[in-house]
Structure 1
């Protein structure tokens, strides 16, 4: 594993609807975790971004153990390893040359 990686994962977390606000607070306390959507039925869309795949699996296990969480499902996992290439600045000259 490169030290220059970013792991991005999305999860669907199903919680008891009456306790959704508590579960949301607990999930947001995890480093790199953000909630991107929710439903009245108690489902949350959670995105985790980290440099370590092990942290993602540990976080999934920890969320699954939270009181009032019914289920956690990993929906997506992507590894970005070419971060230096992605961090280059695009100039107008570059875009004009690409169109020739």
Structure 2
């Protein structure tokens, strides 16, 4: 039996300042992606919610590979299984 999981992971991306809006939109378009803060110097704080660790990585890949990303740092990752969530 496959156990249902819920993952939430947060990240800080440092991007070229002229691409902040473009990357923020890309993050928001990812299913479960949400931008929480943006700074003038190109830092974006965001989260990704997904059903597995693999799904988080899959959703993060186009963000990580974007040509304006200078660095991408994980901040937090939590997961719950179905039993923990009830």
TM-score bucket (shorter structure): 0.7 to 0.9
- C-alpha distance in structure 1 between counterparts of 2:3 and 2:62, whole Å: 25
Unaligned runs of 5+ in 1: 85-100
SS in 2 for 1:26: helix
SS in 1 for 2:57: helix
Q: Output the aligned Cα RMSD.
A: 1.3
Provide the TM-score with structure 2 as the length reference. Answer: 0.87
Provide the TM-score with structure 1 as the length reference. Answer: 0.76
After TM superposition, list the pairs within 5 Å mapping 1:1-100 onto structure 2.
2-3=3-4, 5-81=5-81, 82-84=84-86
- Which has more strand, going by share of residues? 2
Q: Give the stretch that moved more between structures: 57-66 or 40-49.
A: 57-66
